[in-house]
Chains A and B, each alone.
Chain A
Amino acid sequence: MRVDGIPASPGYAEGPLFDLDQSPASYKAKASAEEEQAALASAIGKAVGRLAALMETADGDAAGILEFHIAMLEDDALSGPALAAIDSGQPADAAWRAALDSEIAGYEASDQDYFRARAADLRDIRDQVLRALSEESEAAAPPGAILYGEDIAPTRFLETNWSEGGGIALKRGSTASHVAMLARSRGVPMVVGLGVASAPIIGDTLLDAEHGAIIFSPSPAETETFRQSASSFADRLGSARTFLTAPAVTRAGTAVRVQVNIAYPSDVEGIDVETCDGVGLMRTEFLFGKTLPDEETQYHAYRKVLEWAGGKPVTIRTVDAGGDKPVPGFTVEETNAFLGLRGIRLSLARLDIFRVQIRALLRAAIHGNLKVMFPMIATPDEYSQAAALFAQEQAALATQGVAHRLPPLGIMVEVPSVALAPEDFADVAFFSIGSNDLTQYVMAAARDNAAVAHLNSVRHPAVLRLIEAVAGFGREKGIPVSLCGDAGGDPAAIPALLEAGLRDLSVAPAQLAMAKAAIADVAA
């Protein structure tokens, strides 16, 4: 049975289906006492890691409570009775619950109010580990599987091993979601908007993410056709690679800079620096993943990419958390997250976290050609505030005698207020058009909503007109303008972007060859 959807990341995958929507796991007993004990130790470690992340942003009293919880969890005396119970045949969750309940009873029996109140802390500690234990039981997809479900969380994508193939097939989802972006950058085939099909979640399945379709229980004929298409796609990808090593030029000889977008410092390991003109966008929100990274972690991450690039420019975007990218301990729950406290708004509201990133960037800047840009800028004041923080931290580092350099500071153009009035931002060092967000805000079509995916097109005349205006303003004032959204790597959108005046695109590494091939095909 063939079901059609929308291609979100081109490619082909053939493999078993893996159901993403299976009900949340409860703890599953393991085969041996050793495995039970390992599961408990790992769950305690996970709980400690989460608390440590929370502590980074907690103040006085809250930090004191968290520190107490961590100290209790790290004390072998707490897990000892549970480990002993596992030895005598209990599963980890029951053993932990019983051990903690006995501790809790001890506190509840105290005649001191203060100590009686600690029973609540012990219950909290107990439940944090039980939660971590049941998460451990979430089944991992087998290698090469096609992940199928309503939608997929970015963490699930990141935790999956894609080295042996596989793909993603979503009933809802969107081509502009964060996972779609990651899938394109890693070359993982993905189809969205398949709708609700009551498919049997068994057997081998074919995913055609070039045309946007999934074939359940394929016939031998369907399988053969599919394999031919897959092989032809691989051939085309191969021939596009011949464009990879040369600078991108149109048929008329117009040079176009093509940089890459990366999310992790390790992303550069698979890219030959000679095939691109630098890093047009290094996202930093993934460094923030589940815990907030300290200054050293960030410094080394930025330095790694700068050193990889040699003298080529590396544009690092300050943390763009919020929207569809929550970070525990940092972002806030909002009903309308795309219009809420995200990007630079969140950074300016959480200076303790922002200043750490600024110091790491200033220190890393001496290791290459760094540029820094701010996401979600809507007003000149936000840019001024952010730039002033860079100046303050620079002065502090100078006082301490720490080596550093102030990089050029630019902004993302993704809020329509900037695209409509770029003249208010004449003092920024550069503009980088974030076409995903610009499009969703201009078209009022959430990028993670398949129901409005048809509206979410960078090629709508209103979006192109704004891009053209920003490119024109930049040319007039001598301010560099680039584009780092997904449109930059979309062969179908590239002619329109060049027509709008752009000469600088930043694309997912997996799209580098196709983008250069598409540029070579543009007449102008």
Chain B
Amino acid sequence: MSAFAEATVLITHAVGLHARPSVKFTKLAKTFAAEVEVAVAANGPWFDAKSIVKVMAAKAPKGTLLHIRAKGDGATQAVKALVDLVQRDFDEDADHARSA
């Protein structure tokens, strides 16, 4: 398992990596050919970032340091795009954060 592109990002969204953000997160991950994984701890366990079932199962609340890693075609871009999405609070406004 060499040549991973890796990054960590702090989840600042009010309720964490919840339903709607997970939809966005996995949809974005699926746009890349690279294998992409997430974890809530540096030593794993790692979850498939393209599976909403797995991403939701990570149950990452606000304040979680999310670990993202990828390998294969476009791995670097994939990690960067996903980090950006988390940093932008999944493009959700405060209104939406209360519900869903």
Q: Which residues of A are interface residues toward B (Cβ below 8 A)?
A: 60-61, 64-65, 67-68, 71-72, 75-78, 103, 106, 110, 112, 114-115, 118, 121
Give chain B's interface residue range (CB within 8 Å of chain A).
Answer: 20 to 34
Tell me whether B51 is interfacial, beta carbon within 8 Å: yes
| Contacts A/B (CB < 8 Å), 28 sampled | A61-B99, A61-B100, A64-B19, A64-B100, A65-B19, A68-B19, A68-B22, A68-B23, A71-B23, A71-B26, A72-B52, A72-B53, A75-B26, A75-B52, A75-B53, A76-B51, A77-B48, A77-B53, A110-B59, A112-B16, A112-B59, A112-B61, A114-B16, A114-B18, A115-B18, A115-B59, A118-B19, A121-B19
User: Inside 8 A of B88's CB, which chain A residues have their CB?
Assistant: none
Given contacts A72-B56, A75-B53, 14 further A-B contacts (CB under 8 A): A61-B96, A61-B100, A64-B23, A64-B100, A68-B19, A71-B26, A77-B53, A77-B54, A110-B59, A112-B16, A112-B61, A114-B16, A114-B18, A115-B18
Q: Residue A60 contacts which of B23, B48, B96 (CB distance < 8 angstroms)?
A: B96
Contact of B20 among A68, A75, A106 (CB under 8 A): A68
Tell me, in angstroms, the Cα distance from A206 to B10 when the chains sit together: 74
A61-B100, A77-B48 given; A67·B61 CB < 8 A: no
A115 to B26, CA, bound (A): 17
| CA distance in complex: A368, B35 (Å) | 52
Contacts of A110 in B (CB 8 A): 59
The answer for the CA separation of A76 and B23 in the assembled complex, in Å, is 15
CA distance A112 to B59 in the complex (A): 8
Q: How far is the CB of B7 from chain A (nearest CB, A)?
A: 23
| Chain B residue contacts of A71, Cβ below 8 A | 22-23, 26-27, 52
A106 to B61, CA, bound (A): 15
Tell me, rounded to whole Å, the shortest Cβ–Cβ distance linking A59 to chain B: 12
Q: How far is the CB of B65 from chain A (nearest CB, A)?
A: 16
Interface centre among A64, A103, A106 (most CB of B within 10 A): A64
Does B28 touch A at the CB level, under 8 Å?
Answer: no
Q: Is A64 touching B53 in the complex (CB atoms < 8 A)?
A: no
Chain B min CB distance to A65 (Å): 6
- Which of chain A's residues have a CB closer than 8 A to the CB of B52? 68, 71-72, 75
> Which residues of A sit under 8 angstroms from B16, Cβ to Cβ?
112, 114
10 smallest CB-CB distances across A and B, nearest first, come from A77-B53, A68-B19, A77-B51, A114-B15, A71-B52, A75-B53, A64-B20, A115-B59, A78-B53, A71-B23
A423 to chain B, nearest CB (A): 51
Q: Which of B1-36 contact A (CB under 8 A)?
A: 15-16, 18-20, 22-23, 26-27
* B19 nearest CB neighbor, chain A only: A68
B57 interfacial by beta-carbon distance below 8 Å:
yes
State the Cβ distance, B39 to closest chain A Cβ, in Å. 16
Q: For A114, list chain B residues within 8 Å (CB).
A: 15-16, 18, 61
How far is A490 from B18 in the complex, measured between Cα atoms in Å?
Answer: 61
Distance of A112 Cα from B18 Cα, bound (Å): 11
Give Cα A65 to B23, complex, Å. Answer: 10
Chain A residues closer than 8 Å to B61, beta-carbon distance: 112, 114-115
B18 proximity list for chain A (CB < 8 A): 114-115, 118
- In the complex, chain A residues whose CB is within 8 Å of the CB of B20: 64, 67-68
**CB 8 Å contact bits of B84-100 with A (1 = contact, 0 = none):** 00000000000010011
Whole-angstrom distance from the CB of B35 to the nearest CB of chain A?
15
Q: How far is the CB of A57 from chain B (nearest CB, A)?
A: 18
B24 CB to nearest A CB, Å: 9
A115: which B residues are within 8 A, CB to CB?
18, 56, 59, 61
Closest chain B CB from A285 CB (angstroms): 32
Q: Kindly list chain A residues whose C-beta atoms are within 8 Å of the C-beta of B56.
A: 72, 115, 118
Chain A residue at smallest Cβ distance from B15:
A114
CA distance A114 to B56 in the complex (A): 11
User: How would residues 62 to 99 of chain B score, 1 for a CB under 8 Å from any chain A CB and 0 otherwise?
Assistant: 00000000000000000000000000000000001001
* A77 vs B26: C-alpha distance when bound (angstroms): 13
Question: How close is B94's CB to chain A, nearest CB, in angstroms?
Answer: 13
B99 → chain A, closest Cβ, in Å?
A: 5
> Do B23 and A67 touch across chains, with their CB atoms under 8 A apart?
yes
Shortest C-beta distance, B90 to chain A (Å), equals 11
Complex formed: what's the CA distance from A115 to B27 in Å?
20
Residues in B with CB closer than 8 Å to A118 are 18-19, 56
